[in-house]
């Protein structure tokens, strides 16, 4: 059966704080690209969580090793590794959530769109296997370029006849995590309780920080606002440069990916008012088919799109700049599937 038991599991954590989690309130999560720079620390964070009952690790290399390693950690989640194409179907059978950080990352000088040729087919093949084996699963896509890989996933699922726009998510959480951190630093706030929405897409000018809606409320002189906005938009490139050829953000992305996955798991099991920001099929900006904005999650995925809220004139200009780029990225993804 889908859920092992509804029996209460009482757990005492190492710091002595007691919490209980119902066994049925646990999600079976698959990670595709589990052996990678993001996949490994993401899987580690998921293995540590009481929200996860099973962890299915898929990659084209090293998945059994990563799984064996993580399986020794003293938490309940059962970890299984699946290696290569022949095991892909099994990896995605009976799962509730699939997180996809499979594919190549950027090297200095590259844009996210430069990854399209390699990652488009990787994402398409994984999503096809998910659609065939767990058509109801929530799918969270980390692989870049997110602006295009989400439309690719949607088109692949449409071909299979199992597309549900409420269950497909592009993970932009790292942009929000970065905005929270940078704005908190600039104002001497606690980053953990600073909330800065970031909307639009996940590359360069399509990343739209909405600092006017930050909580707590903050304000900056225009030159500083310009600088902070560009820093949030280019934060990924900051890491790519610092890593000097060794890849892009992996640890902060694993943190952000786990945070988003936990929200999906909570919503799936009936927690109310779970709020996130994600790149999804959307009608909040006319003519832009996929757009990231604040959403409420529920058992069936996206329950409500909270839209853009009130934007400042500066943010409206950022949106104007983002629109044609987003449209181009979305079209490129859709055409890739139409041609293949």
Binding residues: 33-39, 59, 106, 112, 119, 142-144, 178, 253
From 25, 26, 27, 33, residue interacting with ligand NAI (rule: CB under 6 A): 33
- Alpha-carbon distance of 71 to 193, in angstroms, equals 33
Q: Which of 81, 101, 131, 201 is in the footprint of ligand NAI by CB under 6 A?
A: 101
Stretch that binds ligand NAI, among 11-19, 103-111, 128-136, 226-234 (CB under 6 A): 103-111
In the complex, the smallest distance separating the C-beta of residue 24 from ligand NAI, rounded to whole angstroms, is: 30
Q: Does 39 bind ligand NAI (CB under 6 A)?
A: yes
Element (DSSP H or E) covering residue 260: helix 251-268
Integer angstrom CA distances of residue 32 from 94, 192, 242: 15, 29, 26
CA 8 vs CA 4, 11, 19, 150, 261: distances in Å: 11, 9, 10, 37, 22
Annotated binding residues for substrate, as ranges?
106, 112, 144, 178
User: In Å, what is the CA distance from 98 to each residue of 42, 66, 92, 238, 247?
Assistant: 12, 17, 8, 28, 23
Close Cβ partners of 158 (under 8 Å, ≥ 6 residues apart): none
- Give the total of residues touching ligand NAI (CB under 6 A): 34
Residue of the chain from 122, 127, 297, 323 that contacts ligand NAI (CB under 6 A): 122
How far apart CA 280 and CA 284 sit, in angstroms, is: 11
Tell me whether residue 57 or residue 288 sits nearer to ligand NAI (CB atom): 57
Task: Map tokens 């927690």 to a residue.
Answer: 271
67 binds ligand NAI (CB under 6 A): no
* Residue 149 CB, nearest approach to ligand NAI (Å): 8
Residue 12 has, within 13 A of its CA and on its CB side, a CA count of 1
Per-residue x/- track, 199-238, ligand NAI (CB under 6 A): ---x------------------------------------
Q: Write out the catalytic residue numbers.
A: 202
C-beta atoms surrounding 313 within 10 Å:
7
Identity of the residue, 50 or 131, whose beta carbon is nearer to ligand NAI in the bound complex: 131
Query: Which residue ranges are tagged as binding site for NAD(+)?
Result: 33-39, 59, 119, 142-144, 253
Does residue 330 touch ligand NAI according to CB under 6 A?
Answer: no
Instruction: Say whether 287 sits in a helix, a strand or coil.
Output: coil
Q: Rounded to 5 degrees, what are φ and ψ at 29?
A: -115, 135
Binding site for ligand NAI (CB under 6 A): 32-33, 35-39, 58-61, 101-106, 115, 119, 122, 125-126, 142-144, 146, 171, 174, 202, 247-250, 253
């Amino acid at each position: 059966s889908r859920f092992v038991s509804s029996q209460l599991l009482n757990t005492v954590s190492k710091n002595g704080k007691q919490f209980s989690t119902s066994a049925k309130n646990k999600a079976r999560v698959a990670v595709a690209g589990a052996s990678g720079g993001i996949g490994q620390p993401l899987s580690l964070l998921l293995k540590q969580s009481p929200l996860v009952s099973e962890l299915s690790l898929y990659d084209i290399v090293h998945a059994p090793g990563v799984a064996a390693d993580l399986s020794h950690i003293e938490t309940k989640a059962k970890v299984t590794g699946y290696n290569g194409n022949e095991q892909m179907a099994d990896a995605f059978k009976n799962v509730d959530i699939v997180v996809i950080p499979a594919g190549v990352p950027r090297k200095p000088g590259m844009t996210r769109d430069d990854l399209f040729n390699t990652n488009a087919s990787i994402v398409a093949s994984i999503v096809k296997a998910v659609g065939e084996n767990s058509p109801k699963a929530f799918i969270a896509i980390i692989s870049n370029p997110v602006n295009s890989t989400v439309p690719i996933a949607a088109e692949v699922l449409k071909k299979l006849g199992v597309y549900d726009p409420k269950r497909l998510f592009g993970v932009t959480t790292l942009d929000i995590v970065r905005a929270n951190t940078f704005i908190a630093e600039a104002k001497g706030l606690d980053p953990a309780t600073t909330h800065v929405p970031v909307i639009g897409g996940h590359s360069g000018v399509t990343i739209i920080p909405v600092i006017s809606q930050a909580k707590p409320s903050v304000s900056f002189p225009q030159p500083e606002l310009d600088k902070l906005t560009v820093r949030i938009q280019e934060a990924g490139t900051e890491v790519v440069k610092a890593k000097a050829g060794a890849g892009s953000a992996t640890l902060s992305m694993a943190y952000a990916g786990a945070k988003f996955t936990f929200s999906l798991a909570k919503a799936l099991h009936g927690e109310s008012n779970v709020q996130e920001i994600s790149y999804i099929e959307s009608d909040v900006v006319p003519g832009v088919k996929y757009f990231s904005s604040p959403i409420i999650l529920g058992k069936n995925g996206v329950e409500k799109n909270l839209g853009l809220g009130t934007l400042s004139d500066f943010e409206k200009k950022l949106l104007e700049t983002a629109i044609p780029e987003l449209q181009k990225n979305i079209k490129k993804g859709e055409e890739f599937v139409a041609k293949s």
